[in-house]
Copies of this chain bind each other. A is one copy, B any other.
Amino acid sequence: MKKIRIPENILEKIAEKEMIEKNVLSGKISEGRVVVPLNRKRQGLEKPCAIGEGLSVKVNANIGGSPDISDPAAELEKLRTSVKYGTDTVMDLTIGKYWKRILSAVVRESPVPVGTVPVYGAVCLGGSVADLKSDDFIEVISTQAEMGVDFMTVHAGVTRSVSKIYDKSKRVGGMVSRGGKIIYRWMKENNMENPLYERFDEILDIASQYNITISLGDGLRPGCLADASDDAQYGELRVLGELSRRCRQAGVQVMIEGPGHVPLNLIEENVRMEKELCGGAPFYVLGPLTTDIGAGYDHITGAIGGAFAAWKGADFLCYLTPAEHLHLPDNEDVAMGVIASKIAAHSGDVAKKIPGALERNEKMSKARRDLDWELMQRNAMAPAAVERERKRYPERKDRACTMCGEYCALLD
């Protein structure tokens, strides 16, 4: 088993921030229960972070252009917005024009770890998905590794045998993962095995060389409540379990991506299955969304499931924005998505009694009891929002707000 090496100064910085002992942190990294996404080539990572067991739950913001909307300046604006509101990482998911220009700029400017989905880079090479060569998928991983990308989603779990389970499943929502579906289509049209699975050792070599954290993608995550926890989903999760063991053997950091749409009563099972099948690897969930009907407000449905998942052991929440299921998020959607996910992550931290979490709430509550608005603003999850609202509705002379006025329960 090869050893994972993280620079000492980074470990110290993280241990201090998480309020845990440095050797406890190192131990968990060695066991694969914690990852620190950090490409050896990466410059300017001012805010490194660790993701996993016993640590505060982290949040990722997806940015990047789409085939229809691609504007490098707009994506950099989203990067700044997501960092301003406290995202722990960003993923540049650009497909389409300017993808390399956007990714280079994001890696250069981002103070937080940057992730990608290399399959998206592959389809940007041009031509149809079916015409891509097996080498193209590996080549893009190499290129993005050299560009300094810290973590990459690898959809290696959509194998031929897993696809057969999916084909037989009578899913209501079908396959909703963009990366998973690209690989699935490629396999069908070329009648070949998933190149990311077949050539996983080559991917491990690259990941090991650059210290890239592999995020094993869930191409078969449920896209609606009715498909949650089905055979296709858990069949893929078993493959991800095997691949996670190979990552650990190769000294490559690994985390596992998870759903998706899951009713509240199945979220705990999802977390337990992931931890059991993948040797305690960090669990990186998208939501989960606890209902399918929240379009326009899926940052809220995602925050509900994310909070509960975080409490039960999910380590990393991919944000959802109000634009989910509707369109590419704009800058305002990005802000809302980060804030909602941060609230969810923090609700999990509080329930798990992560060091420092309750203390922050107590500071806020004392400020509230004392009607000290400056201090409330400073301790809020999103001080900018509190500032904005205070300007719209200034507090009264007695420092009560316009809700209860002179009958404020906190005036003594």
Contact = CB atoms under 8 A, between A and B. Distances in A.
Interface of A: 66-69, 95-96, 120, 123, 172-178, 180-182, 223-226, 261, 263-265, 290-297, 299-301, 303-305, 307-308, 311, 323, 325-328, 339-340, 343-344, 346-348, 350-352, 358, 360-362, 364-366, 368-369, 376, 379-382, 385-386, 388-390, 392-393, 396, 401-410
Given A226-B358, A326-B389, A340 B300 contact: yes
Nearest to A325: B368
Contacts of A328: 393, 401-403
* Copies of this polypeptide in the complex: 2
Nearest to A174: B369
A20 to B, nearest CB: 20
Nearest to A379: B293
Contact of A385 (B223, B296, B376, B381): B296
A291, A339, A365, A405 interface centre (most CB from chain B within 10 Å):
A291
Contacts of A348: 264
B409 A291 contact: no
Contact of A264 (B299, B347, B365, B410): B347
27 contacts: A67-B405, A67-B407, A95-B404, A176-B410, A178-B409, A223-B368, A225-B361, A261-B365, A264-B307, A264-B348, A264-B351, A265-B351, A290-B307, A291-B343, A291-B347, A293-B364, A293-B380, A294-B343, A294-B381, A295-B382, A295-B385, A300-B343, A304-B344, A325-B376, A326-B389, A326-B393, A328-B403
Contact of A265 (B311, B344, B382, B410): B311
B327 A403 contact: yes
Contacts of A296: 380-382, 385-386, 388-389
Given A95-B405, A301-B347, 7 more contacts: A67-B406, A172-B362, A173-B365, A226-B361, A293-B361, A296-B388, A328-B403
B293 A346 contact: yes
A348 B401 CA distance: 32
A137 to B, nearest CB: 15
B67 A369 contact: no
Contacts of A365: 172-173, 223-226, 261, 292
B224 A308 contact: no
B325 A181 contact: no
A347 B290 contact: yes
Contacts of A379: 293
